[in-house]
A and B are shown apart, each in its own frame.
Chain A
Amino acid sequence: MPTFCKTTLACGLRIAAEVDPRGYSASLGYFVRTGARDESDVEAGVSHFLEHMVFKGTARRTAADVNRELDELGGQSNAYTSEEQTVYYATVLPKYQDRIIDLLTDMMRPSLTDADFQTERQVILEEIAKYEDSPPFGAFERAMERYFGPRGLGRRILGTNESITAMTSSVMRDYFSRRYSPENIVLAAAGNVDFDSLVEQATRLTDNWNRLENADAPPPDDPNVFPEGISNEETIETPDASQAYLVRVSSAPKINDPRRYATRLLSTILGDESGSRFFWEMIDTGRAEACAMWPQEFGDCGALFTYLVSHPDELTANRKSIDTLIEQVIRDGVTEDELQRAKNKTLASCIMQSDRPSNRLFGVGNGWQMRGEYLELDEMLDRYRRVTVADIARAANESFASTPTETYALAGALL
C-alpha cells in the first residue's frame, strides 16, 4: 500500500511523494508552475525555450556533463512544457536517487549563457518547422488561439518563428528569475523512494534558491494588436494535404471541478478511439481517419476537443454526423450499459497504469502543484464509479450548450 508524504521547505519548495517500496524504480521530477499562459508577447515561447536551456549546463556542469550524467543514470529522463507548467523528470533505479536529485536540482539553476542560447534557438526553430509539416498542420494551435484568444491559454507553447528569432537571452533570464522561485515549484516523487533522504538532500541543495535577481515584468501587451505571426482565420490553407482536418473547442470543467469525471466519461462514451459512438459511426465504417473527443483541464477552466480527419469531400457530411450524434446524447442521454462499459475501460486503464512509478509521478506532481491535492488510486477509482447517467446528462448540457469554435486545415475550400 503506497504512503503519501509531504513537506514544505523553509525556502518555499513543496515536496510530495507517493512512496511504494515494492517498485523496481523511483520516479522524480520538478514541476514548475509556469507555462505559455504566463508569457507576454516578447516572451512568447520562452517557457519552452527555457525548458531546453535547463539542459545546457550550470555553474558546476557543462551541457555535455548534464547529458552524460543523465545517460549514466539510465537515460530515462525527459521534460515538457504545457500552458501552465514546465516539468523535468527522470525514472531511475532506486540506488541512483541521490545522484538524480543532485543533477536535477543543479539543473534548476542553469547558466543560461548567451552562446548556448544562440545555438539552441536553431533547435527550437527546427522544432517549430517539424510541427508545421505534420498533421494537423497547426490546427490545434489555431483552435486554441481562436477559442482563448492569442494570449493566455491561447499562447502557443513553442512560440512563433518571429518571437523566437527576436528573443534575447536577457528576456529569458528575467523570466527565469520571476518564475523559477522555490514557492512556484513542487518536487514530486513516486515509487521506491527514500522520502527522508529526499527531503534532507533537497533542503541542503536548495539553500540558496531564494537568491534570484529582481526582474521587472515586461510592459503589458496591447490587447488590440495581434502578436506577430498569429492570425485567427477559421481555415489554414494546406495545399499539399490529402486529408482535411477539423478541430472544435467548447467548454469543460476545470482541474479541480468535481464534475470533471463525468465529462471524461462522456468523452469516452461519445468519442473514445475504440467502442464509442464516434467510433462505430465514423471509424469502423472507414468514413474518417480520426474522430475523437477528449477534455483538457486547466487551472481556471477546461476545454473539450473534438477532432475529425477525413477526405475533404466528405468533411461536411462527416461533421453533420458528429452533430447528430451529439444531439442524440443531449436528447436521449447515454445508457447505463454504455456508462458501465466506459467505467470498466477507464478503471482497468487506471489500475494497469498505476503499476509504474513513472506513470504515478504525474498524478502526484500535477495534483499537488495544480490542486494542492493528493489523490490515492482507490479514491480516484471511486470518483469514476460514482458518476451516474444524470451526471453525464449534465456534463453534456454544459459542454454542448453553446456553439463550438471551429478550426480547419485543408487544401482548397470547404464544400
Chain B
Amino acid sequence: MEPADRGGLAGLMCEMIQRGAGPYSSRDIVELQDNLGLDHSAGVSSTLASYGATMPADALSEALSLYAEIIRRPHLPIDQLEDALQVSMQELRAVEDEPTQQVMIRLKQMQYGDLSGRPACGTQDGIEAISIDDVREYFLDWYRPRDAILTIAGRFDWDTVREQCLSLFSDWEGGSKAFPKLDTGKPGYEHISQDSSQTHIGFSFDAAPFRDKDFYCLRAGVGILSDGMSSRLFDRVREQRGLCYTVSASTHSLFDRGAVFGYAGTTPERAQETLDVTLREIQSLGDGIEAAELERLKVRVQSSLIMEQESCASAVASMLSDWFHRGRVVTAREIEEIIESLTVHQVVDYWRTHPPKGFRVVTLGAQPLRITMET
C-alpha cells in the first residue's frame, strides 16, 4: 500500500505505532507487554500488517485492550520518527549482509512485479524520503477496520471476549481508500555478482493461490518435492549427490495470485549442477508420483494438525491466513478430509495440466549460471 517512492513506509508504520498509544508511552507499552508475559511479534508482508502475542490465559483481557490502543490510537510521535527511521535503516543493512535474503527479495519482485513484490524492508531512498505526514496519512488510509481480522485461540470464554471486542472496536470506522493497482512480473534470469563462499540460487513460477479450489493438489506436489527428508529435492539434490546443504520449495500467495518459491545454496563448483537437477525435478513431477509418496504426505499433515493443537500460536496464524485468503476458517478436520481424499491421479493430473513454466531465476555469487532447459 505504500507509495512507489516511499519503499519501507509500511514497515516503518509497524515501528511507529508501538511508540506510544492511548494512555501509554513507548516505555509503558513495553513494560506492560513484559509484565503480562506476552511473547509478542509484529510484522509486515506484501499484503498484511500483523500484530500478535501468545500469553498466559489470564492476560488476554488486558492484552486486547492494549492492542486496541496501539491499532486505533497510536501517538505516532514526531520526536521518535528519527529513531524509527534509523531502525529501518539497520534492517535494510542487515538484508544487505544476507545473500539469501537479497536473492529472495529480487526474486519476489521478478515473480509478482516491482511494486506488487516489493520487500517490506524498503529502499534507502524510500526510507530517507519519509516524513511524519507520510506516516500519519498512511495510518489514516490503511489502519482501518475494513478487511481487518482479529483471531484468538486458546483458553478463553467466547461471550466475555466478544463483549470486550465490541466495546473496543464497534465504533471503529473508515477504510474507503481504493487499493493501489498491482503490476505483474515476468520470467527471466538475473545474476547478482558478489564474491561469496556460496552461490545462492532462487527460483519461482506462477502457481495457484491459496484460495484456488486446486490449491491442495499444488500443495501436495510441493510437499512431495520438499517436505521432509524423503522428499525429492532433499533426496536427489542433497542426499544422493551431496550438492548442497539447503534446498527447498514452498507455496506462497498474494490474494489473487500465487507462486512456488524455491532456494538452494551451494558452492560455486556445484552450482550449475544444483540448478539443473533442481529445475529438472520440479518439471518432472507431472510425469508421475508414487502412492507411497502421497501417503507419507498425508501422514505428515495429519500428525502436524493433531500436534498443532498444543500450540495456540499456530492456530491463530492459520486462522488469520484462512480468513484473509478464503474468507473463513478452515478447520483441522476439514483440511484432514481434503488431504485424505487426494488421489495420485488427481495430483499428477493437476501438475500435468498446470506444468511449472515461466521460471524466474536469481543467482548470487562470483559467476552467473546457464539456464539449460526450456523454462
Q: Which residues of A contact B (CB under 8 A)?
A: 23-25, 55, 63-64, 66-68, 70-76, 91-93, 119-123, 125-127, 129-130, 132-135, 239-243, 274-275, 279-280, 283-289, 309-311, 340-342, 344-345, 347-349, 351-352, 355-357
Q: Is B337 close to A, CB under 8 A? A: no
Beyond contacts A75-B300, A122-B243: 10 other A-B pairs, Cβ-Cβ < 8 A, are: A23-B310, A71-B296, A72-B295, A123-B238, A126-B265, A239-B195, A275-B33, A344-B34, A352-B56, A356-B311
Chain B neighbourhood of A119, CB < 8 A? 239-242
B227: nearest residue on chain A (CB-CB)? A75
A283 to B97 CA separation, bound complex (whole angstroms): 18
Out of A55, A242, A280, A351, which one reaches B229, CB within 8 Å?
A: A55
If A126-B265, A129-B267 touch, whether A275 touches B39 (CB-CB below 8 Å) is: no
Offer 27 A-B interface pairs, CB within 8 angstroms, sorted by A: A66-B229, A68-B230, A71-B228, A74-B299, A74-B303, A119-B241, A121-B242, A122-B243, A123-B242, A123-B244, A125-B267, A129-B197, A130-B197, A132-B197, A133-B198, A133-B265, A134-B99, A241-B97, A243-B93, A243-B96, A285-B86, A340-B35, A344-B35, A349-B39, A352-B37, A352-B54, A357-B310
Query: Is there an interface contact between A67 and B94, defined as CB atoms closer than 8 Å?
Result: no
- B219-254 contact mask (Cβ, 8 Å, vs A): 1 or 0: 000000001111100110011111111100000000
Chain A neighbourhood of B245, CB < 8 A? 123, 126-127, 130
- Interface size of B by CB at 8 A reads 70
Chain A neighbourhood of B240, CB < 8 A? 119
Chain A neighbourhood of B230, CB < 8 A? 64, 67-68, 70-71
A283 to B87 CA separation, bound complex (whole angstroms): 7
The 6 closest A-B pairs by CB, nearest first: A286-B86, A348-B37, A74-B303, A122-B242, A67-B229, A289-B90
B30: nearest residue on chain A (CB-CB)? A275
B240: nearest residue on chain A (CB-CB)? A119
Q: Is B47 close to A, CB under 8 A? A: no
A357: nearest residue on chain B (CB-CB)? B310
Chain B neighbourhood of A125, CB < 8 A? 267
Chain A neighbourhood of B198, CB < 8 A? 126, 129-130, 132-133
Query: Is there an interface contact between A355 and B310, defined as CB atoms closer than 8 Å?
Result: yes
Chain B neighbourhood of A285, CB < 8 A? 83, 86
**A-B CB pair tally, cutoff 8 Å:** 187
Chain A neighbourhood of B35, CB < 8 A? 340-341, 344-345
A129 to B246 CA separation, bound complex (whole angstroms): 11
Out of B27, B94, B100, B307, which one reaches A289, CB within 8 Å?
A: B94
Query: Is there an interface contact between A24 and B99, defined as CB atoms closer than 8 Å?
Result: no
If A64-B235, A134-B99, A242-B96 touch, whether A286 touches B267 (CB-CB below 8 Å) is: no
Nearest chain A CB to B81 CB, angstrom units? 10
If A135-B98, A284-B83 touch, whether A341 touches B56 (CB-CB below 8 Å) is: no
Out of B37, B59, B196, B300, which one reaches A71, CB within 8 Å?
A: B300
Chain B neighbourhood of A135, CB < 8 A? 94, 97-98
Chain A neighbourhood of B212, CB < 8 A? none
- The A-contacting residues of B in range 243-297, CB under 8 angstroms, are 243-246, 265-267, 270, 292, 295-296
A309: nearest residue on chain B (CB-CB)? B94
If A130-B245, A133-B196, A341-B34 touch, whether A70 touches B228 (CB-CB below 8 Å) is: yes
- The A-contacting residues of B in range 102-145, CB under 8 angstroms, are none
Chain A neighbourhood of B94, CB < 8 A? 135, 243, 289, 309
Nearest chain B CB to A322 CB, angstrom units? 16
Chain B neighbourhood of A72, CB < 8 A? 295-296, 299
Out of B82, B238, B265, which one reaches A130, CB within 8 Å?
A: B265
Nearest chain B CB to A107 CB, angstrom units? 12
Query: Is there an interface contact between B39 and A352, defined as CB atoms closer than 8 Å?
Result: yes
B19: nearest residue on chain A (CB-CB)? A284
A347 to B99 CA separation, bound complex (whole angstroms): 37
A63: nearest residue on chain B (CB-CB)? B239
